[in-house]
Amino acid sequence: MLIDDDKGVHVLMRRIIEDAGYRYCAAYDGESGLKMLASEHPDLLLLDVMMPGMNGFDVCTKIRGQGRRIPIIFLSAKGDIVDKSIGFKAGGDDYVVKPFSPDELLLRIEAHLRRHKSDLAFAKAVSREGSNKTGELEIFFNRYEVRLRGEPVDLTAKEFEILALLASSPGQVFTRNQIYEHIWGRDSSVDENSITVFMRKIREKIEDNPSQPKYLLTVWRVGYKFAERVDVANE
């Protein structure tokens, strides 16, 4: 979704967004944009800064005040660092200065959509009720508890959070970078390569044969995923 008062930008953005295979909707001012946001439920918002009436920073502040977690990318002809600081404090996720490269914009859109999808998966993992039972492994999400064949598995908090993140969406592949950002945060000084070590430790605790895992699977050159199904009869 785009909120911008410039009709020329709307023509350009529609072509860029739809040519990339996304569905597109747009508004020309902040007030109508907020109404459209509530009805259309877009996955990402491109938000102009300088608009008549309610400016982009005010729109962003209202959106965050409503508890919405939608990724917001500011668009502005002003590259001033003060404007960027205000935008990030208002709750924006990124800032693109006009004129911009369509390819760069699409790369940023794709990156934020991937991150948002895994954000939602992590929130689902740490807050959901009940458990995920796959094979002989059961994960109790809101209790930080894992059982294998009915016996408790002694995982550290970080080991559990990594396993719960993957188990919240069985079959979905998470990159190392996605796992790193959701468990430790973007600004953490933890080495991303340590995720490999965590995976090995988790497998040593939940797999019968850690070198041939059934639950915590590696997707070569991409990342990791949790198995959608494990055939207990063949174990």
Q: Is the pLDDT higher at 102 or at 183?
A: 102
Is it true that domain 2-100 has CATH number 1.20.210.10?
no
Task: Give me the pLDDT at residue 81, please.
Answer: 60
Q: How far is CA 195 from CA 59, 159, 171, 190, 198, in A?
A: 38, 10, 19, 9, 5
**pLDDT classification of 97: cutoffs 50, 70, 90:** confident
Tally of CA atoms within 13 A in the half-sphere of 175 that contains its CB: 10
Write down the pTM of the prediction. 0.56
Task: Give me the pLDDT at residue 72, please.
Answer: 93
Q: Per-residue pLDDT for 91 more than 50?
A: yes
Kindly give, in sequence order, each residue whose CB lies less than 8 Å from that of residue 161, ignoring residues fewer than 6 positions away. 125, 126, 183
Strands annotated E in 64-187? 72-76, 94-97, 131-134, 137-140, 145-148, 151-152, 174-175
* Structural domain spans, the chain: 2-100, 128-234
- 99 and 135 in contact (C-beta within 8 Å)? no
Is it true that domain 128-234 has CATH number 1.10.10.10?
yes
